[in-house]
């Protein structure tokens, strides 16, 4: 009886040792450069309109590849590159705002983990820069939302400016995306506002940011449906 138990234990141990653990998902990437909401002045000039910027990040656990996505905040055009290293050089337009994000990839498992989205201005000839286009936080574009007991929903966004001279935000809202109405003008740093809505309606909204120099930038057009 003891021999049978001993043999069964050995088989169980061998079976357990022979089984491979499933590959783990990679950890999140920690971006390093260009800094979030910063002015990038270290790019290598390639002429009047473009420069080459080297993006850097820290290694993520269980990652063997990284995908860098750089987005032109004015046009939403993106550049994508994949590398096994911790840096990539990308040619960008001068005097232009960009966002960037690095996704960690584990090729064996096929799992990916996106890192945070950072934004920056690629330096140009100007000494003053417009604000970054506002980043919508709530509600997410395309979301369905339930109004509060007063029939209102909360609009919330994030504003930033490399010159640190943000002045105000103009909030536009409407059910016709081609004819939005100015809802309110809020002094910085206020970045949220409650609005009355009608159940079943689909609303569109944008935020215009203005700085002390009179420079402006317009966010993307976002939408939400009221339940």
Residues 28, 71: Cα–Cα separation, whole Å: 20
Mean pLDDT, to the nearest integer, of 103-112?
94
Domains of the chain with bracketed CATH: 30-122 (2.60.40.10), 135-226 (2.60.40.10)
| Radius of gyration of the CA atoms of the chain, in A | 24
Residue 50 has pLDDT above 60, yes or no: yes
Residues 196, 191: Cα–Cα separation, whole Å: 17
Both tokens of 171, joined, read 């909030």
Both tokens of 71, joined, read 């987005």
User: By CB neighbour count within 10 A (0-12 exposed, 13-18 middle, 19+ buried), where does 115 fall?
Assistant: buried
User: By CB neighbour count within 10 A (0-12 exposed, 13-18 middle, 19+ buried), where does 92 fall?
Assistant: buried
Residue 9 has pLDDT above 70, yes or no: no
Global pTM value: 0.83
With cut-offs at 50, 70 and 90, classify the pLDDT of residue 24: confident
> Which residue in this structure is represented by tokens 């001068």?
94
Interior/surface letters 49-79, b for 16+ CB within 10 angstroms, e for the rest? ebbebebebeebebbeebbbebbbbeeeeee
For 171-212, what is each residue's pLDDT tens digit? 999 999 999 999 999 999 999 999 999 999 999 999 999 999
With cut-offs at 50, 70 and 90, classify the pLDDT of residue 20: low
Residues 168, 188: Cα–Cα separation, whole Å: 5
Residue 147 has pLDDT above 70, yes or no: yes
Question: What 8-state DSSP symbol labels residue 73?
Answer: T
Give how far Cα 64 sits from Cα of 23, 31, 56, 173, 191, Å. Answer: 12, 16, 16, 44, 39
DSSP string, 35-65: PTTEEE--PEE-SSSEEEEEEEEE--TT-SE
Q: Which residue has the higher pLDDT, 17 or 81?
A: 81
Mean pLDDT, to the nearest integer, of 20-31?
84
Both tokens of 162, joined, read 């490399």
């Amino acid at each position: 009886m003891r021999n049978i138990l001993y043999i069964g234990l050995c088989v169980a141990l061998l079976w357990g040792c022979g089984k491979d653990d499933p590959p783990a998902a990679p950890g999140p990437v920690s971006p390093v450069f260009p800094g979030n909401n910063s002015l990038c002045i270290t790019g290598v000039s390639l002429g009047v309109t473009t420069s080459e910027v080297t993006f850097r990040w820290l290694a993520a656990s269980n990652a063997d590849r990284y995908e860098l996505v750089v987005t032109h905040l004015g046009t939403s055009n993106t550049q994508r590159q994949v590398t096994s290293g911790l840096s990539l050089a990308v040619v960008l337009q001068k005097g232009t705002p960009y966002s960037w994000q690095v996704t960690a990839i584990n090729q064996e498992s096929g799992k990916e983990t996106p890192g945070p989205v950072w934004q920056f201005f690629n330096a140009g000839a100007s000494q003053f820069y417009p604000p970054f286009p506002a980043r919508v936080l709530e509600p997410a574009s395309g979301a369905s939302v339930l109004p509060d007991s007063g029939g209102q929903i909360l609009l919330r966004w994030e504003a930033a400016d490399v010159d640190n001279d943000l002045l105000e935000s103009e909030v536009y809202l409407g059910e016709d995306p081609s004819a939005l109405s100015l809802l309110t003008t809020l002094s910085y740093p206020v970045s949220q506002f409650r609005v009355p809505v009608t159940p079943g309606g689909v609303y569109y909204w944008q935020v215009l940011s203005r700085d002390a120099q009179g420079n402006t930038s317009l966010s993307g057009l976002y939408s939400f449906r009221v339940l």
